[in-house]
Amino acid sequence: MRNRITVVGLGYIGLPTAAVMAAAGMEVIGYDLNPRVVEALNKGEIIIEEPGLGQLVKEMVGQGRLRGISSLESSDVFIISVPTPINADKTADMSFVRSAARAVAQVVAKGNAVVLESTSPPGATEDIVAEELKASGLKIGEEIFVAHTPERVLPGRILIELVENDRIIGGINAESTEVVKEIYQRFVKGSIYTTDSRTAEMCKLMENTFRDVNIALANELAILSEKMGINAWEVIKLANKHPRVNLHMPGPGVGGHCIAVDPWFVIEGQPEGKLIRQARDRNDGMPLHVLQTIRDLTKGIDTPKVAIFGVTYKPDVDDTRESPIMKLVEMLVREKNYEVAIHDPHVDDAIFKYGELKKPTALEAADGADLFVLAVNHSEYLRLDFEEIGKVMRTRQIYDTRNFLGGAGLEALGFKVLLLGRG
């Protein structure tokens, strides 16, 4: 039985995967190039935010089932879970995957399995991972078994969904598929579906592309509704009463490593992907739409102060990857005539890197502001004391980009409230 597992890359997916596999009784080694990550792991600590993860890591390290390394060792299974960022030209940056596969090729042995979990363009498992593993001198698919099994988890529920969600496993050949399926069956309680590696890669990409296109439709509805004097949120609520309609929600843009990136992987080198490209352009354009609304709301105010509440890509997480709000902040700072304050309870001081911006309290961020922008619907923001916030603001204006705060109560406190998508 392949019981010694090495997870290559201890980020938002790699570390939870390592912890869950350790909890299932396997001996798990976590490999990462960042010494801070490895050092924290070996102390039973984590440097990312995910419910339950800190306690599980502490328990697994304490029981000797999980440890961190900075130099690869022999193992039965290598799971590659490294970033696949996007280049400036919207192509996939596969350098981390390639480097990881090259490193594994130096220590891989006959009978080992190598699994690519990183979200990748179709063909990456065969054309990059399998190709790099040839340097081992072993026969790919016969002596080394290679497969792609994409993660399909929601931040905030990762530990639950790694176990309970259905899983797709696509090998470069039938034997690779079965070998990797046996490994994942040991901790996955959901159904496991098998296919080839290219189909598995495309499945993950299309799951997120579906959501991106749907969000683009909602964002287009929001923009049209603003011009036509309609409330897009009411349209969506009522349209979704139809049994075969499921419109998503609009917002200030799409972020995170999945939905904002995966559609580009689908259409890389494929000019026929026109609808997907248009959806990406619509969603990528939402920060500029929000900026234009901010300009309108602060017109005529000398050096207006804008308080941005929330900069992560989604609520109640610390992840700012591809955050549309970070793009909005950058645009605001570049305009130079704005004073910008940022508040987010989930990010550390390092994110506040623009000019003289520091991490303030909610009242400090709102102090003297001419516009309060609710950019991310963190649950903490429902507990803000808007009566006190109103007292410190220079101009009582709120721009709610998430339909989150509830306009009636705010208007009773003397706020002018504008809602994205409401004309």
Closest-CA residue to 340 (of 374, 313, 303): 303
- Inter-helix orientation angle 274-284/286-297, to 10°: 30
DSSP result, 82-106: ----B-TTS-B--HHHHHHHHHHHT
Determine the Cα–Cα distance for residues 361 and 342; give it in Å rounded to an integer.
9
Residue with tokens 């609808």: 275
The token duo for 348 is: 């550390």
Per residue, the 3-state secondary structure of 122-154, as one string, reads CCHHHHHHHHHHHHHCCCECCCEEEEECCCCCC
- Would you name the residues annotated as active-site residues? 204, 258
Cβ-Cβ contacts under 8 Å for 71 (sequence gap 6 or more)? 31
CA distances to 85, 279, 288 from 260, in Å: 11, 10, 16
Closest-CA residue to 337 (of 311, 301, 312): 301
Determine the Cα–Cα distance for residues 339 and 349; give it in Å rounded to an integer.
18
